Amino acid sequence: MNKCEKCCILICSVSNTFVFIRPFCMGMVLVYSPISVFQLARIQTDSVAGKLKELYPDVHLEIVAMSTVGDKILDKALSKIGEKSLFTKELENALERNEVDLVVHSLKDLPTSLPPGFTIGAVLKRETPYDAVILHPKKAGLTLDTLPEGSVIGTSSLRRAAQLKRRFPHLEFKDIRGNLNTRLKKLDDHDDYSAIILAAAGLRRLGWESRISQILTPDDCMYAVGQGALAVEARAGDEDILKMLSVLNDTDTVLRCVAERAFLRHLASLPASLSCALLFSQLYLTGAVYSLDGLDSLKETMQTSFTTENQVEERVHVGITARTVLTSAQDAAEKLGTDLAALLLHKGAKKILSVARQLNNAR
Q: Which residues are catalytic?
A: 109
String of b and e for 242-274 (b: at least 16 CB within 10 Å)?
Answer: bebbbebbbbbbbbbbbbbbbbbbbbebbbbbb
Q: How many residues does the chain have?
A: 363
Residue 138 amino acid letter: K
Report yes or no: 44 and 124 within 8 Å, Cβ to Cβ.
no
Cα(318)–Cα(337) distance, integer angstroms? 10
Residue 353 amino acid letter: L
Which among 260, 268, 320 has a CA at the least distance from the CA of 284? 260
String of b and e for 203-225 (b: at least 16 CB within 10 Å)?
Answer: bebbebeebbbbebebebbbbbb
Residue 362 backbone dihedrals phi, psi, to 5 degrees: -85, -10
